[in-house]
């Protein structure tokens, strides 16, 4: 009587899982989420430079599938010390999230002046757990 070895051994399963993870997480926008907040901010400034019109920035969100959480028509109150009031309006945008147990969400704010021109971008990460 022949004894057959199982086709799917442990190392084969692990390599398949790693391959799936690499393929699904290799998109440029997904990799951006893992970067430091400063690098993400710098990246967004290259795509939406200072003085960009509000309509241009909104179109940028649509084409990149970023969700506008809030479109606020008043000044932005900076959370960092010293506290500052900046601009006349802003978009609070969900860039994306990653993680399984501890989910990290990347959030950004595009701040505009009274002429509806971009004056600042703020980026931070929020960590949520189950």
Does the pLDDT value for residue 8 go beyond 70? no
State whether residue 83 is helix, strand or coil: coil
> Each residue of 51-71: pLDDT tens digit?
999 999 999 999 999 999 999
Q: What is the dihedral of CA 110, 114, 117, 118, to 10 degrees?
A: -30
Does the pLDDT value for residue 44 go beyond 60? yes
- pLDDT at position 91, please? 95
If 0-12 CB within 10 Å is exposed, 13-18 middle and 19+ buried, where does residue 44 land?
buried
> Omega into 17 within 30° of 0, i.e. cis?
no
pLDDT (mean) for 22-35:
63
Between these two residues, 100 and 117, which has the higher pLDDT value?
117
Q: Which position has the token pair 């009274």?
A: 114
How distant, in Å, are the alpha carbons of 18, 22, 32, 84, 99 from that of 43? 28, 22, 9, 24, 22
- pLDDT at position 27, please? 45
Q: What are phi and psi of 86, to 5 degrees?
A: -125, 140
State how far the Cα of 94 lies from the Cα of 111, in Å rounded to an integer: 15
State whether residue 67 is helix, strand or coil: strand
State how far the Cα of 63 lies from the Cα of 72, in Å rounded to an integer: 21
pTM tops 0.95, yes or no:
no
- The secondary structure of residue 79, as a DSSP letter, is -
Q: Where are the domains of the chain?
A: 10-129
Percent of the chain with pLDDT over 90: 49
């Amino acid at each position: 009587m022949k004894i057959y070895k199982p086709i799917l051994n442990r190392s084969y399963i692990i390599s398949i899982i790693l391959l799936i993870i690499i393929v699904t997480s290799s998109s440029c926008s997904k990799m951006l989420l893992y970067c430091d907040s400063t690098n993400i901010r710098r990246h967004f400034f290259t795509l939406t430079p200072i003085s960009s019109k509000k309509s241009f920035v909104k179109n940028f969100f649509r084409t990149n599938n970023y969700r506008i959480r809030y479109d606020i028509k008043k000044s932005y109150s900076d959370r960092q010390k010293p506290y500052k009031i900046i601009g006349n309006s802003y978009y609070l945008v969900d860039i994306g999230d990653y993680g399984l147990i501890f989910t990290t969400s990347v959030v950004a704010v595009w701040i505009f002046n009274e002429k509806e021109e971009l004056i600042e971008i703020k980026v931070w990460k929020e960590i949520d757990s189950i």
